[in-house]
Amino acid sequence: MEGQASRLRWGMIALVFWATVINYLDRQALSVAAPVLREQFSMSNTEYSRVVTAFLLAYTIANGISGPLIDRMGTRAGYALCMAWWSGAALLHTLATGVWSLGAARFLLGLGEAGNWPAGVKVVAEWFPKRERALASGLFNSGSAIGAILAPPVVAWLLLQYGWRASFVAVGLSGFVWLLIWWPVYRTPDSGAQVGRAEVPSPWRLFRVRFVWVFTLSKVFLDPVWYFYIFWFPEYLSKARGFSMASIGKYGWIPFLVAGLGNVAGGWMSAALIRGGWTVDRARKTAVTCFAALMLAAVPAVLVSDVRVAIALVAVAMVGYTGSTANMLAFPADVFPGYMVSSVYGLASMGSGFGGMLFTLITGWMVDRYSYVPAFVMFGVMPLVGLGLIWGWLGPLDGRSTEDLA
Protein backbone atom coordinates (compact mmCIF):
# COMPACT_ATOMS: atom_id res chain seq x y z
CA MET A 1 0.00 0.00 0.00
CA GLU A 2 2.94 2.32 0.69
CA GLY A 3 4.09 1.89 -2.92
CA GLN A 4 0.64 2.78 -4.20
CA ALA A 5 0.58 5.92 -2.05
CA SER A 6 4.00 6.82 -3.42
CA ARG A 7 2.68 6.62 -6.97
CA LEU A 8 -0.50 8.54 -6.25
CA ARG A 9 0.87 11.38 -4.14
CA TRP A 10 1.97 13.49 -7.13
CA GLY A 11 -1.46 13.20 -8.69
CA MET A 12 -3.04 14.37 -5.44
CA ILE A 13 -0.75 17.38 -5.19
CA ALA A 14 -1.52 18.16 -8.85
CA LEU A 15 -5.19 18.53 -7.88
CA VAL A 16 -4.23 20.97 -5.12
CA PHE A 17 -2.04 22.87 -7.59
CA TRP A 18 -5.02 23.16 -9.96
CA ALA A 19 -7.29 24.38 -7.16
CA THR A 20 -4.70 27.01 -6.22
CA VAL A 21 -4.54 28.22 -9.83
CA ILE A 22 -8.31 28.66 -9.79
CA ASN A 23 -8.14 30.37 -6.40
CA TYR A 24 -5.80 33.00 -7.80
CA LEU A 25 -7.68 33.44 -11.05
CA ASP A 26 -10.75 34.28 -8.96
CA ARG A 27 -8.75 36.53 -6.66
CA GLN A 28 -6.68 38.30 -9.31
CA ALA A 29 -9.61 39.00 -11.63
CA LEU A 30 -10.45 42.08 -9.57
CA SER A 31 -6.98 43.62 -9.72
CA VAL A 32 -6.83 43.17 -13.51
CA ALA A 33 -10.30 44.63 -13.98
CA ALA A 34 -9.70 47.35 -11.37
CA PRO A 35 -8.90 50.21 -13.79
CA VAL A 36 -12.24 49.62 -15.58
CA LEU A 37 -14.25 49.02 -12.40
CA ARG A 38 -12.75 52.02 -10.64
CA GLU A 39 -13.75 54.26 -13.52
CA GLN A 40 -17.24 52.75 -13.79
CA PHE A 41 -17.89 52.90 -10.02
CA SER A 42 -15.88 56.14 -9.43
CA MET A 43 -13.58 54.56 -6.83
CA SER A 44 -10.65 56.39 -5.25
CA ASN A 45 -7.54 54.54 -4.09
CA THR A 46 -8.94 54.58 -0.56
CA GLU A 47 -12.28 53.13 -1.69
CA TYR A 48 -10.51 50.47 -3.72
CA SER A 49 -8.44 49.57 -0.65
CA ARG A 50 -11.70 49.11 1.29
CA VAL A 51 -13.04 46.70 -1.36
CA VAL A 52 -9.81 44.71 -1.08
CA THR A 53 -10.07 44.87 2.71
CA ALA A 54 -13.58 43.36 2.55
CA PHE A 55 -12.00 40.26 1.00
CA LEU A 56 -9.23 40.21 3.58
CA LEU A 57 -11.63 40.69 6.50
CA ALA A 58 -13.61 37.64 5.42
CA TYR A 59 -10.38 35.77 4.72
CA THR A 60 -9.16 36.51 8.24
CA ILE A 61 -12.37 35.35 9.88
CA ALA A 62 -12.73 32.27 7.72
CA ASN A 63 -9.17 31.06 8.28
CA GLY A 64 -9.99 30.54 11.93
CA ILE A 65 -13.02 28.49 10.89
CA SER A 66 -11.97 26.68 7.72
CA GLY A 67 -8.90 24.97 9.16
CA PRO A 68 -10.70 23.29 12.08
CA LEU A 69 -13.68 22.59 9.79
CA ILE A 70 -11.50 20.75 7.27
CA ASP A 71 -9.83 18.75 10.05
CA ARG A 72 -13.27 17.65 11.27
CA MET A 73 -14.98 17.10 7.90
CA GLY A 74 -11.95 15.49 6.28
CA THR A 75 -9.91 16.74 3.36
CA ARG A 76 -12.20 15.54 0.55
CA ALA A 77 -15.46 17.06 1.81
CA GLY A 78 -13.89 20.15 3.41
CA TYR A 79 -11.94 21.14 0.30
CA ALA A 80 -15.00 20.56 -1.91
CA LEU A 81 -17.14 22.81 0.29
CA CYS A 82 -14.59 25.64 0.14
CA MET A 83 -14.24 25.38 -3.64
CA ALA A 84 -18.01 25.38 -4.21
CA TRP A 85 -18.43 28.42 -1.95
CA TRP A 86 -15.73 30.60 -3.49
CA SER A 87 -16.65 29.66 -7.08
CA GLY A 88 -20.25 30.67 -6.42
CA ALA A 89 -19.03 33.93 -4.88
CA ALA A 90 -16.93 34.64 -7.99
CA LEU A 91 -20.08 34.37 -10.09
CA LEU A 92 -21.84 36.85 -7.78
CA HIS A 93 -19.38 39.56 -8.83
CA THR A 94 -21.37 39.87 -12.05
CA LEU A 95 -24.23 41.39 -10.03
CA ALA A 96 -22.12 44.26 -8.63
CA THR A 97 -23.44 47.74 -9.34
CA GLY A 98 -21.20 49.83 -7.11
CA VAL A 99 -18.59 49.87 -4.36
CA TRP A 100 -20.81 48.29 -1.68
CA SER A 101 -22.11 45.41 -3.78
CA LEU A 102 -18.61 44.75 -5.15
CA GLY A 103 -17.27 44.74 -1.60
CA ALA A 104 -20.00 42.28 -0.56
CA ALA A 105 -19.02 39.89 -3.36
CA ARG A 106 -15.38 40.16 -2.33
CA PHE A 107 -16.33 39.40 1.27
CA LEU A 108 -18.11 36.19 0.23
CA LEU A 109 -15.15 35.23 -1.97
CA GLY A 110 -12.78 35.64 0.97
CA LEU A 111 -14.91 33.37 3.16
CA GLY A 112 -14.45 30.49 0.73
CA GLU A 113 -10.92 31.09 -0.51
CA ALA A 114 -9.49 30.94 2.99
CA GLY A 115 -9.87 27.16 2.97
CA ASN A 116 -7.46 26.48 0.11
CA TRP A 117 -4.17 26.57 2.05
CA PRO A 118 -5.33 24.74 5.21
CA ALA A 119 -6.68 22.03 2.89
CA GLY A 120 -3.50 22.03 0.81
CA VAL A 121 -1.17 21.60 3.78
CA LYS A 122 -3.40 18.78 5.02
CA VAL A 123 -3.07 16.98 1.68
CA VAL A 124 0.72 17.37 1.95
CA ALA A 125 0.72 16.01 5.52
CA GLU A 126 -1.44 13.04 4.48
CA TRP A 127 0.53 12.04 1.40
CA PHE A 128 4.18 13.17 1.75
CA PRO A 129 7.08 12.27 4.05
CA LYS A 130 8.79 15.07 5.97
CA ARG A 131 11.76 15.42 3.61
CA GLU A 132 9.41 16.10 0.65
CA ARG A 133 6.89 18.38 2.33
CA ALA A 134 8.48 21.74 1.49
CA LEU A 135 8.87 20.70 -2.14
CA ALA A 136 5.28 19.42 -2.32
CA SER A 137 4.06 22.61 -0.62
CA GLY A 138 6.06 24.71 -3.05
CA LEU A 139 4.63 22.81 -6.00
CA PHE A 140 1.02 23.34 -5.00
CA ASN A 141 1.66 26.92 -3.90
CA SER A 142 3.15 27.65 -7.34
CA GLY A 143 -0.46 27.49 -8.50
CA SER A 144 -0.84 30.96 -6.98
CA ALA A 145 1.86 32.27 -9.29
CA ILE A 146 0.43 30.43 -12.31
CA GLY A 147 -3.05 31.76 -11.57
CA ALA A 148 -1.60 35.25 -11.28
CA ILE A 149 0.29 34.72 -14.57
CA LEU A 150 -2.86 33.63 -16.37
CA ALA A 151 -5.09 36.33 -14.91
CA PRO A 152 -3.70 39.44 -16.69
CA PRO A 153 -3.85 38.09 -20.27
CA VAL A 154 -6.99 35.95 -19.78
CA VAL A 155 -9.04 38.45 -17.79
CA ALA A 156 -7.87 41.39 -19.90
CA TRP A 157 -8.81 39.54 -23.10
CA LEU A 158 -12.23 38.54 -21.76
CA LEU A 159 -12.82 42.06 -20.49
CA LEU A 160 -11.88 43.70 -23.78
CA GLN A 161 -13.87 41.20 -25.85
CA TYR A 162 -16.98 40.58 -23.72
CA GLY A 163 -16.94 43.00 -20.77
CA TRP A 164 -15.81 42.66 -17.17
CA ARG A 165 -18.82 40.58 -16.05
CA ALA A 166 -17.91 37.79 -18.48
CA SER A 167 -14.43 37.54 -16.96
CA PHE A 168 -15.91 36.77 -13.54
CA VAL A 169 -18.28 34.19 -15.04
CA ALA A 170 -15.39 32.36 -16.70
CA VAL A 171 -13.20 32.13 -13.61
CA GLY A 172 -16.13 31.19 -11.39
CA LEU A 173 -17.21 28.28 -13.58
CA SER A 174 -13.68 26.83 -13.60
CA GLY A 175 -14.05 25.88 -9.94
CA PHE A 176 -17.09 23.74 -10.61
CA VAL A 177 -15.16 21.88 -13.30
CA TRP A 178 -12.49 21.10 -10.67
CA LEU A 179 -15.14 19.71 -8.34
CA LEU A 180 -16.21 17.20 -10.98
CA ILE A 181 -12.69 15.73 -10.84
CA TRP A 182 -11.88 16.15 -7.14
CA TRP A 183 -14.92 14.48 -5.64
CA PRO A 184 -14.58 11.05 -7.30
CA VAL A 185 -10.75 11.00 -7.23
CA TYR A 186 -9.47 12.20 -3.87
CA ARG A 187 -9.05 9.86 -0.93
CA THR A 188 -6.93 9.75 2.21
CA PRO A 189 -4.12 7.18 2.02
CA ASP A 190 -4.70 4.10 4.14
CA SER A 191 -1.63 4.94 6.19
CA GLY A 192 -2.96 8.42 7.01
CA ALA A 193 -3.97 9.31 10.53
CA GLN A 194 -7.64 8.69 11.20
CA VAL A 195 -9.06 10.36 14.28
CA GLY A 196 -12.49 11.20 15.50
CA ARG A 197 -14.01 14.64 15.76
CA ALA A 198 -13.45 14.80 19.51
CA GLU A 199 -9.70 14.25 19.13
CA VAL A 200 -9.06 17.45 17.17
CA PRO A 201 -8.10 20.18 19.71
CA SER A 202 -10.16 23.37 19.87
CA PRO A 203 -8.61 26.53 18.37
CA TRP A 204 -8.29 28.06 21.83
CA ARG A 205 -6.21 25.11 23.06
CA LEU A 206 -3.99 25.38 20.00
CA PHE A 207 -3.30 29.05 20.75
CA ARG A 208 -1.77 27.94 24.05
CA VAL A 209 1.13 26.60 22.00
CA ARG A 210 3.86 29.19 21.46
CA PHE A 211 4.50 27.99 17.92
CA VAL A 212 0.91 28.82 16.87
CA TRP A 213 0.79 32.40 18.06
CA VAL A 214 4.35 33.27 16.98
CA PHE A 215 3.77 31.70 13.56
CA THR A 216 0.54 33.72 13.32
CA LEU A 217 2.35 36.93 14.23
CA SER A 218 5.13 36.30 11.68
CA LYS A 219 2.54 36.01 8.92
CA VAL A 220 1.21 39.48 9.82
CA PHE A 221 4.45 40.89 8.39
CA LEU A 222 5.28 38.37 5.65
CA ASP A 223 2.07 37.59 3.76
CA PRO A 224 0.87 41.18 3.10
CA VAL A 225 3.87 41.50 0.75
CA TRP A 226 2.20 39.07 -1.63
CA TYR A 227 -1.20 40.76 -1.25
CA PHE A 228 0.40 44.05 -2.20
CA TYR A 229 1.65 42.67 -5.49
CA ILE A 230 -1.49 40.77 -6.45
CA PHE A 231 -3.91 43.58 -5.58
CA TRP A 232 -1.86 46.67 -6.39
CA PHE A 233 0.73 45.79 -9.04
CA PRO A 234 -1.63 46.13 -12.05
CA GLU A 235 -2.85 49.42 -10.57
CA TYR A 236 0.75 50.56 -10.10
CA LEU A 237 1.53 49.80 -13.74
CA SER A 238 -1.57 51.73 -14.81
CA LYS A 239 -1.31 54.80 -12.57
CA ALA A 240 2.43 55.19 -11.94
CA ARG A 241 3.90 53.75 -15.15
CA GLY A 242 1.15 54.70 -17.63
CA PHE A 243 0.27 51.19 -18.83
CA SER A 244 -2.93 50.65 -20.81
CA MET A 245 -5.21 47.65 -20.15
CA ALA A 246 -3.67 45.89 -23.16
CA SER A 247 -0.15 46.56 -21.82
CA ILE A 248 -1.09 45.23 -18.38
CA GLY A 249 -2.32 42.07 -20.06
CA LYS A 250 0.89 41.85 -22.08
CA TYR A 251 3.45 42.47 -19.32
CA GLY A 252 1.70 42.22 -15.94
CA TRP A 253 2.13 38.45 -15.73
CA ILE A 254 5.94 38.44 -15.99
CA PRO A 255 6.82 38.81 -12.27
CA PHE A 256 4.33 36.08 -11.40
CA LEU A 257 5.97 33.69 -13.85
CA VAL A 258 9.33 34.29 -12.20
CA ALA A 259 7.70 34.00 -8.75
CA GLY A 260 6.59 30.48 -9.59
CA LEU A 261 10.24 29.44 -9.71
CA GLY A 262 10.63 30.49 -6.08
CA ASN A 263 8.15 27.86 -4.91
CA VAL A 264 10.23 25.07 -6.43
CA ALA A 265 13.59 26.63 -5.48
CA GLY A 266 12.54 27.16 -1.87
CA GLY A 267 11.32 23.59 -1.48
CA TRP A 268 14.39 22.21 -3.25
CA MET A 269 16.78 24.19 -1.03
CA SER A 270 15.47 22.88 2.27
CA ALA A 271 15.17 19.34 0.88
CA ALA A 272 18.80 19.47 -0.27
CA LEU A 273 19.95 20.74 3.13
CA ILE A 274 18.04 17.95 4.91
CA ARG A 275 19.59 15.36 2.62
CA GLY A 276 22.96 16.89 3.46
CA GLY A 277 22.45 16.14 7.14
CA TRP A 278 20.95 19.41 8.39
CA THR A 279 18.12 19.25 10.91
CA VAL A 280 14.64 20.09 9.63
CA ASP A 281 14.59 23.14 11.91
CA ARG A 282 17.87 24.58 10.63
CA ALA A 283 17.17 23.73 6.97
CA ARG A 284 13.70 25.29 6.89
CA LYS A 285 14.67 28.48 8.73
CA THR A 286 17.82 28.97 6.64
CA ALA A 287 15.84 28.63 3.41
CA VAL A 288 13.24 31.12 4.68
CA THR A 289 16.02 33.58 5.56
CA CYS A 290 17.77 33.39 2.19
CA PHE A 291 14.57 33.99 0.26
CA ALA A 292 13.15 36.63 2.62
CA ALA A 293 16.26 38.75 1.97
CA LEU A 294 15.29 38.93 -1.71
CA MET A 295 12.09 40.81 -0.80
CA LEU A 296 14.23 43.90 -0.15
CA ALA A 297 14.33 44.28 -3.96
CA ALA A 298 10.99 46.11 -3.65
CA VAL A 299 12.83 49.23 -2.47
CA PRO A 300 14.91 49.90 -5.61
CA ALA A 301 12.02 48.67 -7.81
CA VAL A 302 9.98 51.80 -7.17
CA LEU A 303 12.97 54.14 -7.49
CA VAL A 304 14.37 53.16 -10.91
CA SER A 305 13.19 55.06 -13.98
CA ASP A 306 13.31 52.13 -16.42
CA VAL A 307 10.07 50.18 -16.09
CA ARG A 308 11.76 47.01 -17.36
CA VAL A 309 14.20 47.11 -14.46
CA ALA A 310 11.34 47.84 -12.06
CA ILE A 311 9.42 44.78 -13.25
CA ALA A 312 12.57 42.65 -12.93
CA LEU A 313 13.15 43.82 -9.34
CA VAL A 314 9.51 43.15 -8.43
CA ALA A 315 10.00 39.66 -9.84
CA VAL A 316 13.02 39.14 -7.56
CA ALA A 317 11.02 40.31 -4.53
CA MET A 318 8.19 37.93 -5.43
CA VAL A 319 10.63 35.01 -5.77
CA GLY A 320 11.72 35.87 -2.23
CA TYR A 321 8.16 35.58 -0.99
CA THR A 322 7.31 32.32 -2.75
CA GLY A 323 10.59 30.66 -1.76
CA SER A 324 9.99 31.57 1.88
CA THR A 325 6.38 30.46 1.75
CA ALA A 326 7.22 27.05 0.30
CA ASN A 327 9.03 26.32 3.54
CA MET A 328 6.59 28.01 5.89
CA LEU A 329 3.75 25.93 4.46
CA ALA A 330 5.61 22.88 5.76
CA PHE A 331 6.05 24.27 9.30
CA PRO A 332 2.76 22.97 10.80
CA ALA A 333 3.30 19.41 9.53
CA ASP A 334 6.85 19.50 10.96
CA VAL A 335 5.47 20.23 14.41
CA PHE A 336 1.94 18.79 14.64
CA PRO A 337 0.33 15.46 13.72
CA GLY A 338 -1.55 15.33 10.42
CA TYR A 339 -5.02 15.60 11.92
CA MET A 340 -4.19 19.06 13.35
CA VAL A 341 -2.34 20.75 10.49
CA SER A 342 -5.37 22.38 8.80
CA SER A 343 -6.42 23.88 12.12
CA VAL A 344 -2.92 25.19 12.85
CA TYR A 345 -2.37 26.67 9.40
CA GLY A 346 -5.87 28.14 9.32
CA LEU A 347 -5.37 29.87 12.66
CA ALA A 348 -1.94 31.15 11.64
CA SER A 349 -3.42 32.51 8.41
CA MET A 350 -5.66 34.77 10.48
CA GLY A 351 -2.44 36.73 10.98
CA SER A 352 -2.03 36.81 7.22
CA GLY A 353 -5.51 38.24 6.75
CA PHE A 354 -5.19 40.74 9.58
CA GLY A 355 -1.86 41.98 8.26
CA GLY A 356 -3.30 42.12 4.76
CA MET A 357 -6.21 44.28 5.92
CA LEU A 358 -4.04 46.62 7.96
CA PHE A 359 -1.36 47.16 5.34
CA THR A 360 -3.83 47.35 2.44
CA LEU A 361 -5.59 50.25 4.14
CA ILE A 362 -2.23 51.87 4.83
CA THR A 363 -1.28 51.39 1.17
CA GLY A 364 -4.44 53.12 -0.08
CA TRP A 365 -3.83 56.01 2.30
CA MET A 366 -0.17 56.31 1.26
CA VAL A 367 -0.89 56.25 -2.47
CA ASP A 368 -3.72 58.79 -2.24
CA ARG A 369 -1.67 61.24 -0.14
CA TYR A 370 1.88 60.61 -1.30
CA SER A 371 2.85 58.02 -3.93
CA TYR A 372 3.74 54.37 -4.35
CA VAL A 373 7.29 54.99 -3.07
CA PRO A 374 6.63 54.65 0.69
CA ALA A 375 4.43 51.62 0.04
CA PHE A 376 7.16 49.75 -1.84
CA VAL A 377 9.70 50.65 0.85
CA MET A 378 7.35 49.39 3.56
CA PHE A 379 6.78 46.04 1.83
CA GLY A 380 10.51 45.65 1.21
CA VAL A 381 11.41 46.03 4.89
CA MET A 382 8.46 44.29 6.61
CA PRO A 383 9.64 40.70 5.94
CA LEU A 384 12.66 41.33 8.17
CA VAL A 385 10.29 41.67 11.13
CA GLY A 386 8.66 38.33 10.35
CA LEU A 387 12.09 36.77 9.97
CA GLY A 388 13.13 38.04 13.39
CA LEU A 389 10.05 36.41 14.95
CA ILE A 390 10.81 33.06 13.30
CA TRP A 391 14.41 32.96 14.54
CA GLY A 392 13.82 34.60 17.91
CA TRP A 393 10.54 33.23 19.26
CA LEU A 394 9.10 30.43 17.12
CA GLY A 395 11.03 27.63 18.79
CA PRO A 396 12.26 24.38 17.22
CA LEU A 397 10.37 22.75 14.36
CA ASP A 398 9.75 19.47 16.14
CA GLY A 399 7.09 17.83 18.30
CA ARG A 400 8.28 19.48 21.51
CA SER A 401 6.05 22.46 20.74
CA THR A 402 2.93 20.31 21.18
CA GLU A 403 3.75 19.53 24.81
CA ASP A 404 1.76 22.64 25.75
CA LEU A 405 -1.40 20.81 24.62
CA ALA A 406 -1.00 18.17 27.29
Domain boundaries, the chain: 2-183+198-405
Supply the pTM of this predicted model.
0.79
Task: Assess contact for 404 and 221: CB atoms under 8 A.
Answer: no
Q: What's the confidence (pLDDT) of residue 97?
A: 86
pLDDT at 163 over 70: yes
pLDDT tier at 404 (50, 70, 90 boundaries)? low
Give the closest residue to 148 by CA, choosing from 87, 215, 230.
Answer: 230
Average pLDDT, the chain: 87
Averaged pLDDT for residues 150-174? 87
Q: What's the confidence (pLDDT) of residue 292?
A: 96
208-231 pLDDT, tens digit per residue, is: 889 999 999 999 999 999 989 987
Which residues touch 251 (CB under 8 Å, ≥6 apart)? 237, 243, 311
pLDDT at 191 over 70: no
Task: Assess contact for 148 and 256: CB atoms under 8 A.
Answer: yes
Averaged pLDDT for residues 372-377? 96
Q: What b-and-e string marks burial along 371-403, b requiring 16 or more CB atoms within 10 Å of the CB?
A: ebebbbbbbbebbeebbebbeeebbebeeebbe
Q: What's the confidence (pLDDT) of residue 281?
A: 95
The CATH number given to 2-183+198-405 is 1.20.1250.20
pLDDT at 399 over 70: no
Give the closest residue to 22 by CA, choosing from 74, 69, 90.
Answer: 90
Residue 166: CA count within 13 A, CB half-sphere? 10
**In this predicted model, which residue has the larger pLDDT, 204 or 281?**
281
From residue 318, alpha-carbon distances to 157, 240, 298, 364, 383 in Å are: 25, 19, 9, 20, 12
Q: What's the confidence (pLDDT) of residue 215?
A: 95
Cα separation of 386 and 405, whole Å?
Answer: 25
308-346 pLDDT, tens digit per residue, is: 999 999 999 999 999 999 899 889 989 988 788 888 988
Q: Which of 88-97, 148-157, 193-202, 392-401 is most confident?
A: 88-97
% pLDDT > 90, the chain: 46
pLDDT at 5 over 80: no
Averaged pLDDT for residues 257-265? 88
pLDDT tier at 7 (50, 70, 90 boundaries)? confident
Q: What's the confidence (pLDDT) of residue 52?
A: 85
Q: What's the confidence (pLDDT) of residue 40?
A: 85
Radius of gyration of the CA atoms of the chain, in A: 20
Q: What's the confidence (pLDDT) of residue 197?
A: 47
